[in-house]
Amino acid sequence: MIVDRQGRRFRNLRISLTSACNYACTYCVPNGKRLVAAQDELSAEAMARGVAYLIEAAGIDRLRITGGEPLVSPKLETFMQAVGQMGLSDISLTTNGQLLARKLPLLVDAGIRRINVSLDTLDADAFRGIARGGDLATVLDGMDQARAAGIKIKVNMVPLRGQNLDQVMPLLEYCLARGYELRFIELMRMGHLASDSNAFLQQFVSLQQLLSLIGDHHEYLQADAPVDATAVRYEIPGQGFFGVIANESVPFCRTCSRLRLSSTGWLHGCLSSSNRHYVGDLLDKPRHQALPALQRLLVKALGDKQEVAFSGGATVMKIIGG
Ligand code: SAM
């Protein structure tokens, strides 16, 4: 097992199945152009082999499929069928929900039991303004259908001053009423926001500001969370839970167990680091040749992790999947 001085190891793998996306969210894609798949994306088979090799070489036991938008990728079915056979303790998916109803049979057949749906507002006009793609009613219908199919849903919301702060309470009430766990994600200094402090600070909403807003309406208690959890979790007694992924307010680098693989075959050990390590060529090699080389790169990727706090990164989230 590869472990660093702080006792950290890779356990959670996030795979960006494709960099293509049917949205162009303001905080992710500043020019508003929807991203298409990179020319040199790995095949579903190579990515699945990557998961198998990383289970062995790094001790990965949890997988999250993300993107871009994973549900637009033609690789989804083949990839999911392959990784479903690998004995992982958990496979989950992050999606914008636009194609959720359509892909639900595939997801259910592949054994997906929980998904995160990114949704920043329940206001149709604000939705168009932030996501710059898709349609709100389709997302809500997709979530209803997924819930009816027995899938556990978390909703990811990025609170943005001046754009959707008035949606914090409506979204929280909506989620509590349906048994969805709402996850607020503090805006991260990624992509264009890493170099544009003004844009970041104008929009940033902190954990404390969120708690103060919610505290005006509900009593809440801090709830238990796993030691390598990224979210601070709260319970509203008798009604449900919400969480805050507070990259800025409560940094969690000291316990980070995440490894990311991009759709073009690059390993990223840390969102704050510009280092990345190419493994695409290794995935075509037999196991006995690939594993030693992969282990050497994993040592470097683990060394890329920040000691204490996230400090921002120039990589666009859609390339590495958030
Ligand atoms: N397309 C999928 C989706 O929308 O969930 C998966 C990819 S998306 C990059 C993953 C998550 O990253 C989304 O919840 C999105 O809101 C979040 N995200 C993207 N850029 C962000 C930023 N600068 N700060 C915080 N969250 C961000």
Q: How confident is the model at residue 300 (pLDDT cuts 50, 70, 90)?
A: very high
Q: Is the minimum distance from the CB of 96 to ligand 1 under 6 angstroms? A: yes
Q: Are 272 and 313 in contact (CB under 8 A)?
A: yes
* pLDDT score recorded for residue 109: 92
**What ligand 1 atom has the least distance to the C-alpha of 66?**
6
Rounded to the nearest 5°, which phi and psi values hold at 197? -60, -35
Q: Is the minimum distance from the CB of 318 to ligand 1 under 6 angstroms? A: yes
Pairwise pLDDT comparison (306 vs 167), residue with the higher score: 167
Structure tokens that stand for 78 in this block: 């083949």
pLDDT one-digit tens code per residue, 102-140:
999 999 999 999 999 999 999 999 999 999 999 999 999
* pLDDT score recorded for residue 103: 97
**Single-letter residue type at 148:** A
Average pLDDT, the chain: 94
Domain range list for the chain: 16-320
User: Which residue has a Cα nearest atom 17 of ligand 1?
Assistant: 322
292 C-alpha to ligand 1 centroid (Å): 33
User: Which residue has a Cα nearest atom 13 of ligand 1?
Assistant: 118
* pLDDT score recorded for residue 35: 76
The pLDDT of residue 228 is above 80: no
Q: How confident is the model at residue 306 (pLDDT cuts 50, 70, 90)?
A: confident
**What ligand 1 atom has the least distance to the C-alpha of 21?**
1
Taking only Cα atoms into account, the Rg of the chain, rounded to an integer number of angstroms, comes to: 19
Q: Is the minimum distance from the CB of 185 to ligand 1 under 6 angstroms? A: yes
* pLDDT score recorded for residue 38: 82
- Write out the H or E segment, with its range, that includes residue 287: helix 287-303
* pLDDT score recorded for residue 129: 96
322 C-alpha to ligand 1 centroid (Å): 5
Q: Is the minimum distance from the CB of 246 to ligand 1 under 6 angstroms? A: no
The pLDDT of residue 213 is above 90: yes
Residue 249 class from Cβ within 10 Å (0-12 exposed, 13-18 middle, 19+ buried)? Answer: middle
* pLDDT score recorded for residue 309: 81
318 C-alpha to ligand 1 centroid (Å): 7
In this structure, of 43-47, 229-233, 258-262, the range with the lowest mean pLDDT score is 229-233
Q: Is the minimum distance from the CB of 164 to ligand 1 under 6 angstroms? A: no
Residue 141, SS3 per DSSP: helix
Q: Are 17 and 65 in contact (CB under 8 A)?
A: yes
* pLDDT score recorded for residue 44: 98
What Cα–Cα distance (Å) separates residue 245 from each residue in 68, 227, 233?
20, 14, 9
Cα separation of 69 and 94, whole Å?
8
The pLDDT of residue 320 is above 80: no
* pLDDT score recorded for residue 226: 83
pLDDT one-digit tens code per residue, 180-199:
999 999 999 998 998 899 99
Q: Are 70 and 19 in contact (CB under 8 A)?
A: no
Mean pLDDT of 35-45: 90
Q: Is the minimum distance from the CB of 66 to ligand 1 under 6 angstroms? A: yes
Identify the bridge partners of residue 12 per DSSP, sorted by sequence position.
62, 258
Mean pLDDT of 48-67: 97
Residue 124 class from Cβ within 10 Å (0-12 exposed, 13-18 middle, 19+ buried)? Answer: exposed
Rounded to the nearest 5°, which phi and psi values hold at 153? -120, 130
pLDDT over 70 percentage in the chain: 100
Q: Is the minimum distance from the CB of 100 to ligand 1 under 6 angstroms? A: no
Q: Is the minimum distance from the CB of 28 to ligand 1 under 6 angstroms? A: yes
The pLDDT of residue 143 is above 90: yes
pTM above 0.85, yes or no: yes
Structure tokens that stand for 14 in this block: 């996030």
* pLDDT score recorded for residue 50: 98
Beta strand pairing call for 266-268 and 232-236: unpaired
pLDDT over 90 percentage in the chain: 83
317 C-alpha to ligand 1 centroid (Å): 6
User: Which residue has a Cα nearest atom 25 of ligand 1?
Assistant: 187
Q: How confident is the model at residue 39 (pLDDT cuts 50, 70, 90)?
A: confident
Residue among 186, 152, 177, 155 at smallest CA distance from 236: 177
Long-range contacts, stretch 230-239, CB < 8 angstroms, 24+ apart: 230/256, 231/183, 232/207, 236/176, 239/176
The pLDDT of residue 34 is above 90: no
* pLDDT score recorded for residue 319: 73
Q: Is the minimum distance from the CB of 12 to ligand 1 under 6 angstroms? A: no
Class for the domain spanning 16-320: alpha beta
